[in-house]
Amino acid sequence: MKKWNSARRHKKRHAVIAKIKLSMLLLWILVCCAALLMGQEGADAPATVGRLTFSGVINPVSAEYIIDGITESELENHDAVIIEMDTPGGLVDSMEDIVQKMVNTDIPVIIYVSPKGGGAGSAGAFITIASDIAVMAPDTSIGAATPISMMPTGQGNFPGEEDNEEGDTETESTLMHKATNFYASYMRGLAEGRNRNADLAESMVTEAVTVTAEDALDQNIIDLVAGDIYELMDLVSGRTFETTKGEVTLDLNNARIAEFPMGFRREFLYTLTNPNVAYILMMLGLMGLYFELSNPGAIFPGVIGGICLILAFYSFQTLPVNYAGVLLILLSVVLFILEIKVTSYGLLSVGGIISLFLGSIMLFKSSFPEYLRVSMTTILPTVIGVTLFFVLCIWLTVKAYRRKPSTGDLGIVTERGIAKTPIDKDGGKVYVHGEWWNAISDDPIEEGEKVEVIEGKNLLIKVKKVED
């Protein structure tokens, strides 16, 4: 009996061990299958590309947008970042910030100059040549990267351009020559670092050379010409490119595109940097403060004017402001105010209009491209509108000064009434404008006769007799 029980227990033990081994084998098979499936899914997962779209002037706002977009692509482990760009150029400091971020990032940066008819001028040429992969759409251009001075002492001539003005012209020419040489070497360094045509890139700075997309491809300034972003990804896939981290081969077929929009805040700040917007904001600010000072207590015009002026000053820090133009505009406001106080028969108003127009033209330096100056189509309507505003305010103010008082003893001068008692030099009572008044008269006036007020002072009026 004991042997039978022992054999029975031994058999059960073997059955349990077999079940455990079988369970472990099934678990191991499931883990291997899951690993294979995950590996297959990871292998088949499409690449991800960050996409930034920018069109306009290179300035601190656009630089912040591009730098943050590249940083976001790094954090999201994107395979590459594509920056679609169409720019006439911009500020050197902002361009340098973008280039430094591009050459120090861990992911390939693809600059795509588009759409058709666009271009990468001036600062945009530096950014394009600094990219890991440079692509342009057909019918676009690149070049004209000669730096322009933003010094307040002059108008910022191109190197070699003569100036008839005396003073700091020679010094400015020397500084411009130094700046041109520096950025020529800077451009050559970027081109050589990307195995691009360094001689042509340097001539874009020294001679303002501009080339089309097709010529840029033929002369080894860019890598590809693509009609749209999808064609770009197809052309890039399978090709090996030299980057700052070494050679890289991208596979962007069916890649997922992660959009990185500029956002409301950046779009708003970027709009403020438009010279036409900055000019209009300054005009609105001056009009608001003028209205508040001429009508104390209105509050709303003063608040709006102060906000507009602060926004205008924010814009001025990114634009080549000529402070002689600012002073002329302020002088025009002073002349309009003096027109109220001084009898000039309109000469001060004419001087204000001329000063306002000249200041508007001189507000931004004339040698700069159109995107850094106020357009004449903005200046003329604004000058006319501001002039009409000030003239209207002056007319209303003068009209208010000349208006006869409507209350008190001065308010009833020329009013007519009836003598309620005999009136002479010693006084009497009259009923005028629904009120009883103490009155005197140089000539005796009988009770009941009609009178007219000719003077009033300290609640005593002087009257004269009038006929019916």
Whether the CB-CB separation of 255 and 47 falls below 8 Å is answered with yes
3-state secondary structure of 88: coil
The DSSP secondary-structure symbol of 149 reads: -
Residues 306, 284: Cα–Cα separation, whole Å: 9
Q: Using alpha carbons only, what angle is made at residue 456 by residues 428 and 432, rounded to the nearest 5 degrees?
A: 55
Are 193 and 132 in contact, with CB atoms under 8 Å apart? no
Distances (CA, A) of 216 to 139, 242, 407: 11, 18, 82
Q: What is the DSSP string of 206-237?
A: HS--EEEHHHHHHTTS-SEE-SSHHHHHHHHT
Contacts with 254 (C-beta within 8 Å, 6 or more apart), sequence order: 46
Give the residue from 125, 113, 151 showing the smallest Cα distance to 206.
125
Question: Which member of 19, 178, 245, 425 is catalytic?
Answer: 178
Q: How far apart are the first and last CA of the chain?
A: 155
Parallel, antiparallel or unpaired: strands 119-121 and 210-212: unpaired
Active site residue 360: no
Classify burial at 416, counting beta carbons within 10 Å of its beta carbon; exposed 0-12, middle 13-18, buried 19 or more. middle
* 425 is annotated as an active-site residue: no
62, 114, 122, 315: which one is catalytic? Answer: 122
Residues annotated catalytic, as ranges: 122, 178
